[in-house]
Structure 1
């Protein structure tokens, strides 16, 4: 998997940045440390001033890459879903059995994430924690409709549509494939959040991730 991803350049909507951060050492440093800092202090407390202090660079240098911290967060979440999309494509391409394909897809979007050495400036394990904690903040804004028209959430929707297609392969008669696919993706994030913060209202634990739960649920619904 790492060898596969090391040969692929993950692309993000150009409207999310002023200068592609992947094209310079400073840009990659901004990505790397923004992930670590948001994870440490949360998105509300995160500022470009604090990030500049962390990377020992002027705040203005960060603004040359991103217009504001909201677009930086959307960039990071888009990068994450692109990474998931590539991994899902790799894992399911040569799988002919629809059930097996569904199991692999569910595993990829619900499992506990570990860092991928193929992307040294992006710690996917930490980025996953940000997705769990902060992803809804990219969607639940007054600008969501306009940003959706700009294609900010295109990759996220592609991931859900890939799972939708697999669900339809498993059971072409099931009328709620899109709702089931989006519930698996969104619900998994929520269950991981509960596991981390409100442990008494979820059956998940550090040892038991969401894979088994959502696989079991999908099979009982579709089969």
Structure 2
């Protein structure tokens, strides 16, 4: 199992990049330092020139891997959601009871992340902070419909579908499983954002409180008969 995990690769639609950054040391350094740069300065101030300087290369070398910085953020977003799907599958394999599996999934999707040593070139903690602060930006463009048709958001959509299936296993009569699943994923990031930046807008300020909030929300919804 350890050998399998060490050789694991998060699969991303090749249309997102020009050259697979996983294919070279430079590509991996671009991802590693790009995460650090966006985490420190924010996406608005992130440029390929700054990234090239950071890795000791020129700006043109970054363009050999990514068409523009939107595609770079898309790559990071796809990688993050693919990694979350991997964690969801790996950590719920041993749970045979549907409610236990759903509760474990809620923990994985709502709690702060930890470094995963299976991916040495990715700081998952920093990437999680980026997703908290920037998670909507890959979607909020005029190109969203075209990019969706081209499969750019498949890792995120697969994760929502897996989580929705777990919801359905607990209550197969609940008609809004995908809506609830996507609300938990988006809402968790938003609650972490509020906790960090606008704390007066949330009651989730203690460790684990975001997980407790969403566990209570999901449980209440699935136990209710008022679906319509």
- Count of residues paired in the alignment: 223
1:93 and 2:93 aligned: yes
2:159 matched residue in structure 1: 159
Give the Å deviation of 1:2: 7.2
CA-atom RMSD in angstroms: 1.4
1:134 and 2:134 aligned: yes
1:129-162 C-alpha deviation (Å, 9 max, x unpaired): 0011111000011100000001000110110111
1:205 matched residue in structure 2: 205
Question: Which runs of 4 or more aligned residues in structure 1 lie more than 3 Å from their structure 2 counterparts after TM superposition?
Answer: 1-5
Q: Secondary structure at the match of 2:116?
A: coil
Provide the TM-score with structure 1 as the length reference: 0.96
Q: Which range moved further: 114-123 or 22-31?
A: 114-123
Q: Which range moved further: 129-138 or 2-11?
A: 2-11
Alpha-carbon separation, structure 1, partners of 2:194 and 2:72: 25
Alpha-carbon separation, structure 2, partners of 1:112 and 1:65: 30
1:220 matched residue in structure 2: 220
1:22 matched residue in structure 2: 22
1:83-134 C-alpha deviation (Å, 9 max, x unpaired): 1111111112232211011011111111111111221100000000001111
Structure 1, gaps ≥5 residues long: none
Q: Secondary structure at the match of 1:40?
A: helix
Q: Secondary structure at the match of 1:94?
A: coil
1:114 and 2:114 aligned: yes
Alpha-carbon separation, structure 2, partners of 1:221 and 1:52: 49
Give the Å deviation of 1:56: 1.2
Structure 2, gaps ≥5 residues long: 224-228
